[in-house]
Amino acid sequence: MRIAASLLLLVSAIAAAAPASPSPDAAADPVFAHPAEAKELDALLGPAARALAGAAAVRGEFSQRKSLHELPQPLVSSGDFLVARGIGIDWHTRVPFDSDLVLTPQAMVQRDGGAEAMRADAATQPGLGAVEQVFDALFALDTPKLAERFTLYGLRGKEGWTLGLKPRDAALAKMIDSIVISGSEQPQRILLHETGGDRTEITFTRQTALGTLSEAERKHFK
């Protein structure tokens, strides 16, 4: 029975090839001294969360810096993104190369100039669902959804708020040590500490909450 026998493998996506030693400063952020319930966080995040929570989609630009301990230099990239709630994530890298990646719960598709260049079904990319769900909730600041998989922390500073996430799930914890999101009117930065000491920093600009998706955008996720 294929379904059953193979399910074990799903974990693979999340646990990936996690390096062995945990990072020393992974949870150093002061936010982790302030555990919070999803409800309290809503108050803390204020208008930022409310605007995003009601949106059908969030569009914006990102710049990303990944520091991987196995690589000699950080990977720096930038581009734009579109997170369509419950539909999928479009991650369009423009620099240093042009690559449009669409993640939906069903498939991972790479587009070149609008045309489909490569497609992998959820069937062959186990864990796609989990990754898509986490990113979807993360970018939309969906605190109840995040609370399903993470323990939440929150802190209000002078310039804005900070939200801390620690995975509750063992498999997720094998990969992610913690996530820190900070912002004021809107989330501005996501800092992802991986268990092996790798870290990914994503900075957002020009975010817009969209009430509906256009037909063209919808089609993009097909």
Please, which residue, 28 or 118, has the CB nearer to other proteins?
A: 118
Query: Using the 8-state DSSP alphabet, how is residue 98 labeled?
Result: -
The owner of tokens 């062959």 is 124
> What's the closest the beta carbon of residue 156 comes to other proteins, in angstroms?
29
- CB closer to other proteins, 22 vs 105: 105
Q: Least separation, in Å, of the C-beta of 49 and other proteins? A: 21
Tokens of 33: 């001294």
157's tokens: 């500073």
C-beta neighbour count of 20 within 10 angstroms = 7
The answer to whether the bond into 96 is cis (omega within 30° of 0) is yes
Instruction: CB nearer to other proteins: give 44 or 108.
Output: 108
Q: Shortest approach of other proteins to residue 28 CB, angstroms?
A: 23
State both tokens at 187.
């989330």
* Residue numbers at the binding site for other proteins (CB under 8 A): 1-19, 64, 66, 68, 70-73, 75, 77, 89, 91, 93, 97, 99, 101, 103, 105, 108, 110, 112, 117-118, 120-131, 133, 135, 148-149, 168-171, 174-175
Closer by beta carbon to other proteins, 60 or else 129: 129
Q: Compute the least distance from the CB of residue 171 to other proteins, in Å.
A: 5
- CA R_g for the chain: 17
* Closest to other proteins by CB, 67 or 188: 67
Residue 167: burial class (beta carbons within 10 Å; 0-12, 13-18, 19+): buried
d(CA 17, CA 171): 12
In what helix (H) or strand (E) does residue 45 lie, and over which residues does it extend? helix 38-45
- Preceding peptide of 24 cis, ω within 30°: no
**Whole-number minimum distance, CB 85 to other proteins, in Å?**
13
